[in-house]
Amino acid sequence: MNEWRRGDLAVSTDPSRLDRSLIARFLAGSYWAKGIPQEVVDRSIEGSLCFGLYRGPKQLGFARVITDYATFAYLADVFVVETSRGEGLGVWMMEVIMRHPRLQNLRRWMLATRDAHRLYEKFGWRSLENPERIMEIVDPEIYLKKSR
Which domains does the chain show, CATH number per domain?
3-146 (3.40.630.30)
Give the C-alpha separation, 33 to 13, whole Å.
Answer: 22
The DSSP symbol for 69 reads S
Per-residue pLDDT of the chain (148 residues; tens, 9 = 90+): 799 999 999 999 999 999 999 999 999 999 999 999 999 999 999 999 999 999 999 999 999 999 999 999 999 999 999 999 999 999 999 999 999 999 999 999 999 999 999 999 999 999 999 999 999 999 888 888 855 4
Beta strand 3-6 with 9-12 is antiparallel
DSSP β-bridge partners for residue 80 = 61
